[in-house]
A and B are shown apart, each in its own frame.
Chain A
Amino acid sequence: MAVIGGGVTGLGVARDLAQRGVTVALFEKGDLASGTSGRSHGLLHSGARYAVKDPVSASECAQENRILKKIASHVIEDTGGMFVAVEESDLEYERVFLDGCKKSGVRVEELSIKESLSREPYLNPNVVATYLVDDAAIDPFRLALANFLDAKSNNAQIFTYTPVRLLVEQGEVTGVRLIKSGENVHADIVVNATGAWAGEVCRQAGIKLEVKPNKGTLVVVSKRIVNTVLNRLRPPSDGDILVPHQTTMILGTTSTYVRTPDNLLPTRKEIKLIVMEEEKLVPLVRRLRVIRAFSGARPLLEGGSGREAARTFLVIDHDESGVKGLITVTGGKLTTYRLMAEKTADLVCAKLGVRAPCSTDKEELPEVPVKSTLERYEALEGELRDGKEVVCECEMVTRSEVEKAFNVLAARTLGDVKRRTRMGMGECQAQMCAYRVADLMAESFGFGADEALNMLSDFLREQWKISRVLEGSQKAQTEFFKTMYRLAGSLDG
């Protein structure tokens, strides 16, 4: 069995199959969750958002929301969510919204405005109606890591930085070819779990699959001033969700079709639009500093335009259209990744004749050995207080956590460390810790000096990619650190 794609879906499939005793190898061209999964809003949907337009998705979300809160509570911050009507015109949507929720089994509860404001003091005081739902914040990186660890513990093999092509022999998919080494790996069945890249992979076997990459941009602001997920009560549109994550808040999103899911960068216009819209939910947002923005590609299926397109997923057995050995799973959401994996694994097992039933909805995901920042705050003791072993000051990442990222969590680059520990995701955006971690790599992980410097260059180039669209203090800070690295440190790149 081979799985292509190390997003949450691919990892979920690997976990599910490994639990059922199937031998799995997973190939990811970049790092775990470096695709759309890591670029999502990290909202564990209650389903309410889809209740009107897409009731199937809505009830899937509602169901998975409950399951994940049980099996993955340690990667979820159960913030609860609110739907907020800001303008009178939003109220027109109220009726259909409530109806939709009822029909798709999504729990909603009305909340008085006074209560909402006392719960979230920075909320726009002029809101006209508020509803409570079961939304929560979920950390996609930690979710991916938990699946990774679970799959590994059941003997799955997982290869990052290993781009593959389908191995097609006489019209039949027989495995994958590792592009870098040219090696072939044979497999009875290949699962294509490449999300927005699924169409591209299918094409390698001559299959036409309409997956349209749809770009969404998200904006990270420096301060967390809201502790509940906020949604605008109106038909889904640009910039109407706010998710508190650890020390920050993520605002979003936008929606435009793009040709390829690779190298998406946010534009200044998108950032402006999002901030302008979110200001209606939380007026202070405008004054907060935008520390980063990023874009991901939604794997949207079929026609329709943007948010209209169905967000439920597809599991396609290409055998039915004459190509043996390939199953594609795409579409869906982070929230429904487990369900997607279950359905895919069911199909794979049926084909392989494996009887074991799915147990991913009951078995808790394993602990991730690196703490989340909030956990760190609560657990800070002794050595950490004096800062001796802290590598990243903003997120309080310690040296031993960086070590775990390499030793237990298969990190290979600085970016990997960032995804595993949140090092560099805080205020200073890795400017102070990047060289420290690079130095640590040279000290403890067998990287040569030049190799470590190259890693550092690559990482910083990636970090600075968006400096063009930043403003104010963030711009000044980025310029400052660019000069620090490039002039004082004479680092080129």
Chain B
Amino acid sequence: MTGKVDVLIVGAGVAGLTAAEIIGEGGFQVLVLASGYGCSQASSGTIDVLGRYKGENVLDVEAALEKFVEEKPWHIYALAGKKTVLNALSDFQFRSGGLYAGGGGRNMKIITPLGTVKSTYLVQFTMLNASFESLAESKVMLVALPGLTGYAPHIIAGKMRNKGIDVKMTKLDLFATSPFQLASSVESNPEVLIEKLREVGAGDHDWVVFPPILGLRNVKETWQVVEEKLGTRVVELPSLPPSVPGKRLYFLLRRRCEKAGVSVVLGKIVKGIKLMGGKVTRVLTNEGSYVPSALILSTGWMLDHVLRIRGMPRRGKNEYGIKVEGVENLFFARTLVSHEEKIGLGAAITAGWLVGKAALDYLRGRK
């Protein structure tokens, strides 16, 4: 497969797929090429926008962003502006078909897979109550499964106990070859899980806390069935990779792209870019080459050390810049994470949105 396309997007993470959807909806032909899954699919699926600022936990995101963009004018958030950041995020949430909850300008504190606490902006709706506050002073059952990794149940239970939560750990004898297998088998047949939980008296608890295994594609229904049949409230925790919430996020974006008429091709490695006369003229991959009217690079930060793209113009000092000077049809939707400030997918969504709009303007201007 080679040839001409309106827009070629390299990278099928959150940034790339967000941009793809916007441009596809704008009526242009979009092809997304990616070597495979990126960090987005491995993430715990919570949308971290700005969890900490100057060492302090952020709750009022709107206020913190205001200061943040002033201080870091080069950051993608500043390039977009506070308003656009929040718009991009609420748009993302709105189109998530109910998968994402939270937002509204404020962070929430959730329990991480390691039992620590993180301030994050949007979470998958099953995790809305995954906080020590929501579970406080109640009787909690924490579910563990042999072979299922991705979280540290005993540490989490210990933390809960430290906070005075009356928690009971239950080890179910359901063996999984992977969390994905478990999630999809729970989705297609929740009864097995429900039965096992009934046996151990899950119904007598105020909350049953699960790792994210309540469905892969059809989370809403699976979650509802489990909650109804158990007769208690049900929460999911986020998880470390291999990550079911990350895969849900991918499915979500993938479906949206499909609706917008975007083609996504995984398994292709982009090897180089040819520039001529201030324009990208050709994109070379491991199998064939492409001639796009516009190119968006949303290759994330992880693979930089492994898959080098030849001929890529330098973005100068600003790692976040969405354009390089002198190349009119090239856009960057590549973002960095900040471990300190707890910035992750929030930046990827913002970058995808910003670049999607910018590329759309560019393509319309050309017509």
Complex: A in contact with B (CB within 8 Å): yes
Q: Which of A435, A471, A482 contacts B152 (CB 8 A)?
A: A435
**Distance to closest chain B CB from A446 (angstroms):** 11
In the complex, identify which listed stretch (A206-214, A271-279, A485-493) lies at the interface while the others stay far away: A485-493
The CA-CA distance from A487 to B161 in the complex, in Å, is 24
In the complex, identify which listed stretch (B16-24, B36-44, B227-235, B287-295) lies at the interface while the others stay far away: B36-44
Q: Which A residues between 415 and 450 are near B, CB-CB below 8 angstroms?
A: 432, 435-436, 438-440, 442-443, 448-450
The CA-CA distance from A439 to B171 in the complex, in Å, is 14
- The residues of B that contact A472 with a CB separation of less than 8 Å are 305-306
On whether the beta carbons of B152 and A490 are closer than 8 Å, the reply is: no
Q: Which of B112, B158, B177 contacts A489 (CB 8 A)?
A: B112
The CA-CA distance from A442 to B44 in the complex, in Å, is 23
B27 within 8 A of partner (CB): no
On whether the beta carbons of B152 and A476 are closer than 8 Å, the reply is: no
Q: Which residue of B lies closest to A387 (CB)?
A: B147
Cβ contacts B101-142/A at 8 Å (1 or 0 each): 000000000001111111000000000000000000000000
- Known interface pairs A388-B175, A453-B155, A483-B39. Does A488 touch B302 (Cβ–Cβ under 8 Å)? no
**Distance to closest chain A CB from B89 (angstroms):** 17
On whether the beta carbons of A439 and B155 are closer than 8 Å, the reply is: yes
Interface residues on B, range: 35 or more
Q: Which residue of B lies closest to A480 (CB)?
A: B302
- The residues of A that contact B304 with a CB separation of less than 8 Å are 476
A386 within 8 A of partner (CB): yes
- Known interface pairs A387-B147, A388-B146, A479-B302. Does A448 touch B158 (Cβ–Cβ under 8 Å)? yes
Q: Which B residues between 33 and 66 are near A, CB-CB below 8 angstroms?
A: 39, 42-44, 46, 48, 51
- Known interface pairs A438-B152, A449-B159. Does A489 touch B240 (Cβ–Cβ under 8 Å)? yes
**Distance to closest chain A CB from B227 (angstroms):** 25
A475 within 8 A of partner (CB): yes
Besides the known contacts A387-B147, A435-B114, A449-B157, 17 further A-B residue pairs in the complex with CB atoms under 8 A apart: A388-B175, A438-B155, A439-B152, A440-B154, A442-B158, A449-B159, A453-B155, A473-B306, A476-B306, A480-B42, A483-B339, A483-B344, A488-B44, A488-B240, A489-B112, A489-B113, A489-B114
**Distance to closest chain B CB from A27 (angstroms):** 32
Interface centre among B114, B162, B177, B238 (most CB of A within 10 A): B114
A484 within 8 A of partner (CB): yes
- The residues of A that contact B46 with a CB separation of less than 8 Å are 488
Q: Which A residues between 346 and 405 are near B, CB-CB below 8 angstroms?
A: 386-388
B265 within 8 A of partner (CB): no
- The residues of B that contact A488 with a CB separation of less than 8 Å are 43-44, 46, 112-113, 238, 240, 344
Cβ contacts A446-483/B at 8 Å (1 or 0 each): 00111011001000000000000001110110011011
Interface residues on A, range: 20 to 34
What are the 9 tightest A-B residue pairs by CB atom distance, in nearest-first order?
A449-B158, A486-B339, A439-B152, A490-B118, A489-B114, A443-B154, A442-B154, A490-B116, A475-B305
- The residues of A that contact B96 with a CB separation of less than 8 Å are none
Q: Which B residues between 141 and 168 are near A, CB-CB below 8 angstroms?
A: 146-147, 149, 152-159, 161-162
The CA-CA distance from A98 to B146 in the complex, in Å, is 58
On whether the beta carbons of A453 and B116 are closer than 8 Å, the reply is: yes
The CA-CA distance from A456 to B152 in the complex, in Å, is 11
The CA-CA distance from A487 to B344 in the complex, in Å, is 8
The CA-CA distance from A479 to B175 in the complex, in Å, is 31
- The residues of B that contact A476 with a CB separation of less than 8 Å are 302-306
The CA-CA distance from A479 to B304 in the complex, in Å, is 11
Q: Which B residues between 305 and 328 are near A, CB-CB below 8 angstroms?
A: 305-306
B interface vs A, CB < 8 Å? 39, 42-44, 46, 48, 51, 112-118, 146-147, 149, 152-159, 161-162, 175, 177, 238, 240-241, 301-306, 337, 339, 342, 344
On whether the beta carbons of B115 and A449 are closer than 8 Å, the reply is: yes
On whether the beta carbons of A442 and B155 are closer than 8 Å, the reply is: yes
A-B contact pairs, 20 of them (CB 8 A): A435-B114, A438-B152, A439-B152, A439-B153, A439-B155, A448-B162, A449-B158, A449-B162, A452-B154, A453-B116, A476-B303, A476-B304, A482-B339, A483-B39, A486-B339, A487-B339, A487-B344, A488-B46, A488-B240, A489-B116
- The residues of B that contact A483 with a CB separation of less than 8 Å are 39, 302, 337, 339, 344
**Distance to closest chain A CB from B169 (angstroms):** 9
Q: Which residue of A lies closest to B338 (CB)?
A: A487
- The residues of B that contact A435 with a CB separation of less than 8 Å are 113-114, 152, 240
The CA-CA distance from A438 to B155 in the complex, in Å, is 8
Q: Which residue of A lies closest to B115 (CB)?
A: A449
On whether the beta carbons of A479 and B158 are closer than 8 Å, the reply is: no
- The residues of B that contact A432 with a CB separation of less than 8 Å are 149
- The residues of A that contact B337 with a CB separation of less than 8 Å are 483, 487
On whether the beta carbons of B112 and A471 are closer than 8 Å, the reply is: no
The CA-CA distance from A475 to B305 in the complex, in Å, is 7
- The residues of B that contact A489 with a CB separation of less than 8 Å are 112-114, 116, 240
On whether the beta carbons of B149 and A436 are closer than 8 Å, the reply is: yes
**Distance to closest chain B CB from A402 (angstroms):** 13
Q: Which residue of B lies closest to A390 (CB)?
A: B147
Interface centre among B155, B159, B302, B305 (most CB of A within 10 A): B155
- The residues of A that contact B155 with a CB separation of less than 8 Å are 438-439, 442, 449, 452-453
The CA-CA distance from A393 to B188 in the complex, in Å, is 29
The CA-CA distance from A440 to B149 in the complex, in Å, is 12
- The residues of B that contact A456 with a CB separation of less than 8 Å are 114
Interface centre among A476, A484, A490 (most CB of B within 10 A): A490
The CA-CA distance from A480 to B301 in the complex, in Å, is 9
**Distance to closest chain A CB from B53 (angstroms):** 15
**Distance to closest chain A CB from B48 (angstroms):** 7
On whether the beta carbons of B305 and A473 are closer than 8 Å, the reply is: yes
Q: Which residue of A lies closest to B345 (CB)?
A: A487
**Distance to closest chain A CB from B217 (angstroms):** 22
**Distance to closest chain A CB from B31 (angstroms):** 25
- The residues of A that contact B43 with a CB separation of less than 8 Å are 488
On whether the beta carbons of B344 and A479 are closer than 8 Å, the reply is: no
- The residues of A that contact B117 with a CB separation of less than 8 Å are 490
Interface centre among A449, A483, A488 (most CB of B within 10 A): A488
On whether the beta carbons of A480 and B115 are closer than 8 Å, the reply is: no
- Known interface pairs A386-B175, A387-B147. Does A487 touch B42 (Cβ–Cβ under 8 Å)? no
**Distance to closest chain A CB from B254 (angstroms):** 21
- The residues of B that contact A480 with a CB separation of less than 8 Å are 39, 42, 302
Q: Which residue of B lies closest to A485 (CB)?
A: B114
Q: Which residue of A lies closest to B307 (CB)?
A: A476
**Distance to closest chain A CB from B176 (angstroms):** 10
Q: Which residue of A lies closest to B43 (CB)?
A: A488
The CA-CA distance from A386 to B162 in the complex, in Å, is 35
- Known interface pairs A386-B175, A439-B152, A475-B305. Does A491 touch B114 (Cβ–Cβ under 8 Å)? yes
**Distance to closest chain A CB from B146 (angstroms):** 6
The CA-CA distance from A488 to B40 in the complex, in Å, is 11
